[in-house]
Amino acid sequence: MIDNEKVLEILKNVIDPELGINIVDLGLVYGIDVFEDQSVKVTMTLTTPGCPLHNTIETAIMHELKEATGHTNHIVELVWEPQWTPEMMSQAAKEALWGGR
């Protein structure tokens, strides 16, 4: 059985290919909903509107969720509001990019 916390841990395996940092530490995950049938809805954004890697990241999320739940009945919803800002990153992400700037 998975819950929001477990899904968050799973999403830490999804790495932004350009930045080399997971999407949770990047602050891209806005919301997680786990339904009774163990299907998951992830609400997320990207660092740049129109980012060409959005398909790649979404595919990776679906892959990780499928590995964890055994099925593909999940949704990734891409939103642009609120707009992503660097303050949403974790300290670990900031340090990985620039030593804590």
Partner 1 sequence: MITAPTSADIEDVKLPMIFIFTGLILFVFAQVILAVNIGHLAKGLPGVPMLLSAAHLTLLGFATMVAMGAMYQLVPVALQVKLKHRRLTYPQYLLYAMGVLGLSFGLIVFNTSMIAIFGILTVTGVIVFVFHMMSTIRDAEKGPIKSGVFLALLFLLLTVLLGLTLALDFFRPYLGSWHEVLFHVHILFGTIGWFTLLIIGLSFKLAPMFTLSHKYESRYGPLSIHLIHAGIWVTTIGFLLKQQMLSCTGAAVILLGFLCYGVQMKKVLDNRLKKKYDLGIRVSLFALPFSLVMLAALGAMGFVMNHAVPVPALVYLIIIGWVSLVIFGYLFKIIPFLWWTYKYGERAGQKGVPLLKDMMNEQRGKWWFLILIGSIILIAASLVTGLSLLAQVFQVLFVMASMAYTIEMANVLRK
Residues in contact with partner 1 by the rule CB under 8 A:
13-15, 17-20, 47-60, 62-64, 75-78, 85-86, 89, 94, 97-99, 101
Cα torsion angle, 18, 89, 22, 81, sign: negative
Length of the chain: 101
CB of 62 to partner 1, least distance (A): 8
Cβ of 48: how many Cβ atoms within 10 Å?
Answer: 11
CB of 76 to partner 1, least distance (A): 5
CB of 37 to partner 1, least distance (A): 15
